[in-house]
Chain A
Amino acid sequence: MSILDSKIPEGHISQKWTDYKDHLRLVAPNNRPKIDIIVVGTGLAGASAAASLGEMGYNVKAFCFQDSPRRAHSIAAQGGINAAKNYQNDGDSVYRLFYDTIKGGDYRAREANVHRLAEVSGNIIDQCVAQGVPFAREYGGLLDNRSFGGTQVQRTFYAAGQTGQQLLLGAYSALSRQIGLGNVQMYNRHEMLDLVKVDGKARGIIARNLITGEIERHSAHAVIIASGGYGNVYFLSTNAMGSNVTAAWKAHKRGAYFANPCYVQIHPTCIPVHGTNQSKLTLMSESLRNSGRIWVPKKKEDAEAIRAGQLKPTQIAEEDRDYYLERRYPAFGNLVPRDVASRAAKERCDAGFGIEANETQEGVYLDFSSEIISKGKQAAYAAGNHNPSDEEVIALGKKWVESKYGNLFQMYEKITDENPYETPMKIYPAVHYTMGGVWVDYNLQSTIPGCFVAGEANFSDHGANRLGASALMQGLADGYFVLPYTVSDYLAGDIRTGKISIDSPEFLEAENNVKEMISKFMNNNGSRTVDHFHKRLGHIMWNKVGMARNAQGLTEAIAEIAALREEFYKDVFVPGDANELNPELEKALRVADFMELGQLMARDALQRNESCGGHFREEYQDAEGETLRDDENFKFAGAWEYAGMDINQSILHKEELKYEFIKIAARNYK
């Protein structure tokens, strides 16, 4: 087996990035306009990278499939962004953020990358404030913070329940400025459908203009892929409808290894599924766990009565409620990491205590009544009323909750038709984020020279489980503060290369490859819609490669997906024309890649004979149902090499993870 070279620099962890950065090669300002860079995706990672590289003077081409770069799905992130500023004076530091992230990832992330992330986290907040991002502030005018899961400090910066929106609009404004100045050329409604390699290096992409259907060749000296995660392989997830793995997968098929595909984050607090025509799941931010308490009835008969509509949650007495996270994890309580909270919800529902009257009988309560009373009392006292009535307390408490989480409560009410100020929210875990992704080294470069991968699309920082409010941090760290240095170092070797021609045989081959695939779908004349197959794939993935996995289920899933894939190619029907806006064709091209990925995820989950973070193998748990890691045999990142259409031939390479600065231990939130 080959050894993956992570290119981690020597030296003490706290000095690695600084020393390394000081010795990277540079491209002089007069040479930068001669160099082209392609950025695929305009979420936090892509937009910040495109803007920063444009500011430096490179000639940037940015691509997104939406009608505007501002719509990338980073916009939907709700809760916040972590940074080791220690503004709250509660003992936070770069080391502690580094440590929490490694531990939260269940000791399956690379130390050096995570430390760098923690180091630049403070710069991100400074940069965003300078851009005019309106973070929440205290009355004194300074920035406010809150807590997220898996930490015991308050280091999360936020803008109500719309932090992702505000950060993305900040990056979008920086990108817009560069577009206006002519440093970035923006291609909206374009989808990357292949990566072009010339002499082993990434030198361009093939993109489809989604309006005209035209297949375009775009060349560059380097390609940055920041196309997000692959949660939509499950069909139902909190991702946007268009979120897909295609750009990353095309790079994989061209030689970029794909690491840890089985690491998927199932988020504990989403609105439960309502029916078969459901198209997506909606998240209720983790920040709500600052104020909400999660419970199910203690008695099974109460749960049954609630499901039958004979009892309301507000009628269950305090002593008959099982606040199971507080019971099982007193030290972190409702703020345990996401994987732990999700499994605990599943455990209660599997045991028959679920409260939702749907087919699955799944669902638990997220209850704000305690917080409403406690904050209401504080508000009354602050206003000089030391003897408030119950009504006054509740009214003031609701007002406080509204100021913190108003948009989330409104969203919940619109979807469910229930008022969460009066009755607890019903929630259940749903697919949310994918820790796995394209393998990258310390430079965020994949195994293809010149192909860099950033944000959720890479595998690098979150190990087997991502902590809340760390995705925004990573996206912006990669784009603003890592890629500008490492990409320049790579491009320093290209100042004499000159423009990359799009007339080479490599571009022709890639273009033909794309055209062939499109023509296959357009002429297939099958009998079923794309969604029909996507839903069936999602069903297999959720049941057998979901929150709990076992060897038998995974083996079945691999075979079932292979059979489904064959049926898909034989029987899918794509209506309309390829030379116009054709959403069904777009979906077919994406689902084709999801099919391959799904199989690889099952294979990856099957080879990993341990439980860690979001990857829970039922065979590997302790007596209390906690994950059992196997550090002796599985302390590695599993990077897969593509070896043709048959995913069973894909080859596993291992990057051994070394922990020099953190003592590896069992993860304990009790």
Chain B
Amino acid sequence: MASKTININLKIWRQKNANSKGSMETYKLDNVSTDSSFLEMLDQLNEQLVNERQEPIAFDHDCREGICGMCSLYINGEAHGPDRAITTCQLHMRKFKDGETIYVEPWRAKAFPVIKDLVVDRSAFDRIQQAGGFVSVNTSGRTMDANAIPIGKAEADKAFEAATCIGCGACVASCVNASAMLFVSAKVSQLALLPQGQVEAHQRVLNMVKQMDEEGFGNCTNTGACAVECPKEISLENIARMNREYFRAMVTAE
């Protein structure tokens, strides 16, 4: 794998804070290694900006290995950029051409207000989890033995696949309606597929959907963009499952 360097132009969203108006600013960055990740490229730009006594670009990031869900950039019109099944931190500069102009924006959704530059507030996701994304079991050390209830491998694997959601919000950012259905349905599905979660499945789905609506996320119109851009390839099947769970809960509600 021969590494080389490229020169690029960047158009990046700058916004001082939640109350100010933002705009796209232009930057030029030379000698970017094609082995660098997209965020390492931004580090390099920031180093250049600070050395020129300018304020660096604020962006969210942490683990840089695709699992924490913190990074959240809308690159050239796609959540997490042009590659598939990855987060922004796993996008590498070898996906871009020498001389290319790259557009970088924050997630755009009413429920995700911009805090600064490319950083948005995703606490709405936390509040949805707090409304019902759990099994109501206290810490005791006296729950039953972990192997007391066998769970079929197929069901367990499906629950796991749904549980791999990293809560980054790419689904919301990609959706024309800024819907959070893929995110919410992933948690609803994980727990509905497991016997431990089934006990309170009805209450859970009603509470989580209610919170989702209150946060101002849009409705799902089945365009499927969320699943295409999802870095963890969470399946649309989960949305179908959540709808079934929801209707079942509605008709059996006391």
Contact = CB atoms under 8 A, between A and B. Distances in A.
Given A165-B164, A166-B163, A581 B62 contact: no
A76 B1 contact: no
Contacts of B145: 126
A278 B196 CA distance: 43
Q: Interface centre among B43, B63, B131, B150, by most A CB within 10 Å?
A: B63
Nearest to B141: A123
A76 B65 contact: yes
Contacts of B163: 134, 159, 166, 169
Contact of A277 (B40, B136, B166): B40
A240 B160 contact: no
A583 B58 CA distance: 7
B134 A173 contact: yes
B171 to A, nearest CB: 16
B95 to A, nearest CB: 10
Interface string B147-185: 100111100110110011011000000000000000000
Contacts of B197: 132
B24 interface: no
Interface stretch (B98-106, B115-123, B214-222, B237-245): B115-123
A358 to B, nearest CB: 9
A85 B167 CA distance: 32
A28 interface: no
A85 B146 contact: yes
Given A174-B134, A481-B141, A416 B47 contact: no
A3 B159 CA distance: 51
Interface in B15-38: 16-17, 33, 35-37
A132 B191 contact: yes
A293 interface: no
A177 B138 CA distance: 10
B223 interface: no
Closest 8 CB pairs of A and B: A141-B150, A180-B130, A173-B134, A123-B141, A134-B160, A130-B143, A52-B139, A129-B146
B15 to A, nearest CB: 11
A137 B40 contact: no
Interface stretch (A62-70, A465-473, A487-495): A62-70
Interface stretch (A407-415, A436-444, A611-619): A407-415
A67 B134 contact: no
A542 B170 CA distance: 37
Given A277-B43, A581-B115, 17 more contacts: A55-B139, A68-B122, A70-B167, A126-B145, A127-B139, A129-B196, A135-B156, A136-B156, A137-B157, A188-B126, A240-B63, A240-B68, A275-B3, A277-B40, A418-B1, A480-B141, A573-B50
B64 A279 contact: yes
A553 interface: no
Interface string B39-58: 11001100100110111101
Nearest to A280: B64
Interface string A566-590: 0000000101100011011000000
B144 interface: yes
A122 B43 CA distance: 43
A134 B193 CA distance: 10
A100 B139 CA distance: 27
Interface of B: 1, 3, 16-17, 33, 35-37, 39-40, 43-44, 47, 50-51, 53-56, 58, 60-70, 83, 85-86, 90, 92, 94, 115-116, 119, 121-123, 125-126, 129-131, 133-141, 143-147, 150-153, 156-157, 159-160, 163-164, 166-167, 190-191, 194, 196-197
Contacts of B37: 279, 415
A162 interface: yes
7 contacts: A68-B167, A142-B147, A143-B146, A274-B33, A414-B92, A531-B47, A573-B50
A575 B56 contact: yes
Contact of B55 (A51, A162, A176, A576): A576
Contacts of B83: 414
A164 B47 CA distance: 32
Contact of B150 (A135, A140, A159, A282): A140
Contacts of B146: 85, 122, 125-126, 128-129, 135, 143
A188 B67 contact: no
Interface residues of A, number: 84
Nearest to A123: B141
B43 A67 contact: no
A339 B119 CA distance: 39
Nearest to A133: B163
Contacts, number: 223
A143 B147 contact: yes
Nearest to B94: A417
Nearest to B195: A132
B133 A575 contact: no
Nearest to B60: A67
A137 B156 contact: yes
B121 A67 contact: yes
A9 interface: no
Given A131-B137, A138-B153, A67 B147 contact: no
B130 A274 contact: no
B92 A417 contact: yes
Contact of A141 (B152, B190, B191): B152
A529 B92 contact: no
Nearest to B119: A581
A132 B194 contact: yes
Contacts of B33: 274-275, 277
A67 B141 CA distance: 30
A277 B36 contact: yes
Given A141-B153, A176-B133, A580-B116, A240 B64 contact: yes
Interface in A151-176: 159-160, 162, 164-166, 169, 172-174, 176
A610 to B, nearest CB: 34
A201 interface: no
Contacts of B123: 67-68, 188
A474 interface: no
Contacts of B39: 279
Contacts of B156: 134-137, 141
Contacts of A75: 63, 67-68
Contact of B164 (A66, A162, A277, A410): A162
Nearest to B130: A180
A219 to B, nearest CB: 24
A130 B144 contact: yes
A129 B144 CA distance: 9
Given A131-B196, A138-B153, A417-B94, A529 B50 contact: yes
A125 B148 CA distance: 12
B34 to A, nearest CB: 9
